[in-house]
Amino acid sequence: MAGQTPAALLDWSLDTTALDRFVRLPEEARNALATRIAAEGGAAAGLVFSAAAAGRGADALAVALACGVVFGEREPRHSLRDAAVRLEPLFGGVRINPDAARGLAEAGRRVLDRMARDAAAAIVPVEVRAAAILAEIRADTAAALSPALQLGLDGRIQEAAAAIRRACETSRVDDASAAWDLARRATAHDRAGDNRSRVDRLVMAARLVRWLAGQPARAWRNLSEAAAAYATDGGFVDRARHAIRSGDRLPDVATAYARLAETITVKREEQNHAFATLLREWNTAGAQGEVPCPSSAYSPRWLRLWLVTLRFYCWCWMA
């Protein structure tokens, strides 16, 4: 047997031939081997053999990944404590030590990550089985706790999108900060790299609600102030609101993005009208006095282009 670490034993469980040989051993021999492995390799390693001895060896990796959800909180919510009890039959009916389960979950995470790099297609049935186990033990609603499963990334994106929608509705700084924290949590997920465009849109959406919450209540006082606002973040806002229009494959996330895009569009239209008014007044005054470009630090090329575009917008609006 190739080592007695939890990760090595999970690799062993993926070998159907080796697993079949173990299953064919007499029950007494299986139990004795599981006890010895637990004594030598630690409680997490022992859990792999407990699952194998219970006839669930083929599910060992999926069960390990499910442990990342069930035991993902140091102070577990009531539903997860119940889920831990429902998970016990997969380990032969023994009570599961939370620290051992967390160690097993971390080993499963490493194995899945390696599989994703070496043979991405091989992780699909493992993920499907882990999702089924979480549903069976009624822990799927807490899937966002998983740092490894695609289901966990989806859960984190959904949680962040819900916070984004709430922040969009309230425009409160604390709600926007909460949305940002949840979006950053999604970027730290193991599957984030495989879902780069989705995660990038999520981060853009979180930045947009921070922008919304940070908007001053008063209007721009002059053209310099308006130009400075655009130079600071207006360009990003326009790019980001167009980016999130791509939506997401999860309907509730796509709905949150659509609502945010509508809100941002209304705000930008208000700002465009305000800028057009300031620009008209500046032109009427002979384009003298107040300087439209607030600082030479801003790129003259794109700022001049934007000013010309809004000058045209102003002309259309006054026509």
Q: How far apart are the first and last CA of the chain?
A: 82
Per-residue pLDDT of the chain (319 residues; tens, 9 = 90+): 445 899 999 999 999 898 888 888 888 888 788 788 877 888 999 899 889 888 899 999 999 999 999 999 999 999 999 999 999 999 989 899 999 999 999 999 999 999 999 988 999 999 999 999 999 999 999 999 999 999 999 999 999 999 999 999 998 999 999 999 999 999 999 999 999 999 999 999 999 999 888 766 556 677 777 677 666 666 778 788 888 988 999 999 999 999 999 998 888 777 777 777 777 777 776 655 555 554 444 455 445 545 545 554 554 444 4
Between CA 43 and CA 48 the distance in angstroms is: 9
Neighbours of 287 (CB within 10 A): 11
Query: Could you read off the pLDDT of 153-191 as tens digits, one per residue?
Result: 999 999 999 999 999 999 899 999 999 999 999 999 999
Q: What 3-state class would DSSP assign to 134?
A: helix
State whether residue 214 is helix, strand or coil.
Answer: coil
Could you tell me the pTM of the whole model?
0.82
49: left (phi over 0), alpha (psi -120 to 50) or beta: alpha
Please name which of 1, 2, 6, 3 lies closest in space to residue 99, comparing C-alpha atoms: 6
Q: What is residue 316's predicted lDDT score, i.e. its pLDDT?
A: 46
Hey, what long-range contacts does 115-123 have (CB within 8 A, 24 or more apart)?
116/190, 116/191, 116/194, 120/194
Task: Please report where in the chains the tokens 């879902």 appear, as a residue.
Answer: 195
pLDDT at 218: 59
Per-residue pLDDT, 319? 44
pLDDT in tens, 114-135: 999 998 899 999 999 999 999 9
The confidence score (pLDDT) of residue 32 equals: 82
Q: How far from 154 is each of 5, 138, 161, 209, CA to CA, in Å? A: 30, 17, 10, 20
What pLDDT is stored for residue 83 in this prediction?
98
